[in-house]
Amino acid sequence: MFTIRKAAVSDAKNLGMIHALSWKKAYEGIVPKEILDKITPEKRAQFFKKALTLQWEEDYLLTVDDLPAGLLCLGKARDEDCKDTAGEIWGIYLHPDFYGQGYGRVLLDYGLSELQKKRL
């Protein structure tokens, strides 16, 4: 069973963990190890705490059986030629333990639905 909900500042630790582990797994062998080693759950948690506090973006937390499993980041479209009503999925990240189970598609569909509701 899974749920998706808008993330709160109190979720920063889980968001940071998901983001860091996702990057390390997805970019292993592509991005130099020295760079990946600098991406830590603690540093990413600090970023998400600040981003959520200052409302830089909207983040959503996917949990599977009450375990933090995924992260969806939404915001206004960043392309200069887009209308103010255009939105963008800034990122989808999954904890590596949940790769290959369809949760990336679940987050994509959820993000598109949220953008449609907001007309972003």
CA distance 38 to 105: 28
Element (H, E) at 52: helix 41-54
CA distance 28 to 30: 5
> pLDDT by residue (tens digit) across 65-81?
999 999 999 988 888 88
pTM of the predicted model as reported, rounded to 2 decimal places: 0.91
> pLDDT by residue (tens digit) across 31-67?
999 999 999 999 999 999 999 999 999 999 999 999 9
> pLDDT by residue (tens digit) across 81-100?
888 778 899 999 999 999 99
